[in-house]
């Protein structure tokens, strides 16, 4: 079985698309950058396209609003959707941009 180890290149954070966040994840990210959950929600989240919950905002190029340079500003508190890429979900063409290192895992 192959597991991919993130090299923190920041490319997936520049990929347009929704990053769905729940209340617990908002609290963790807000604490990480010393904001109140209310202010974090106001500044960094918006309603999902299907109007069912919140997603992180993106800049005009589609990058995550929490990306600073090539680095996630809430890395150790990032949402589950970000933690799960690319081992649990992938977008089309992901391998052309993702610099994660494949590691063979024995079951």
Binding site for ligand SF4 (CB under 6 A): 6-12, 85-86, 97-100
Q: At its nearest, how many Å lie between ligand SF4 and the CB of residue 66?
A: 13
Q: Which is nearer to ligand SF4, 26 or 82 (CB)?
A: 82
* Residue 34 DSSP label: T
Q: Got the DSSP string for 2-18? A: EEEEP-----GGGS-S-
Q: Which is nearer to ligand SF4, 52 or 69 (CB)?
A: 69
Q: Which is nearer to ligand SF4, 38 or 75 (CB)?
A: 75
Q: Got the DSSP string for 41-106? A: HHHHEEE-TTSSSEEE-B-TTS-BTTEETTEETTGGG--HHHHHTTTT---TTHHHH--PEEEE--
Q: At its nearest, how many Å lie between ligand SF4 and the CB of residue 9?
A: 3
Q: At its nearest, how many Å lie between ligand SF4 and the CB of residue 92?
A: 14
């Amino acid at each position: 079985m192959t597991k991919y180890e993130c090299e923190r290149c920041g490319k997936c954070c520049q990929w347009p698309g929704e990053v769905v966040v729940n209340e617990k994840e908002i609290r963790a990210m807000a604490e990480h950058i010393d904001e109140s959950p209310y202010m974090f929600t106001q500044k960094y989240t918006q309603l999902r396209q299907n109007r069912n919950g919140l997603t992180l905002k993106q800049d005009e190029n589609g990058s995550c609003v929490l990306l600073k340079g090539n680095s996630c500003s809430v890395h150790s508190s990032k949402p589950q959707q970000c933690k799960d890429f690319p081992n649990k979900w992938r977008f089309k063409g992901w391998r052309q941009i993702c610099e994660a290192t494949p590691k063979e895992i024995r079951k």
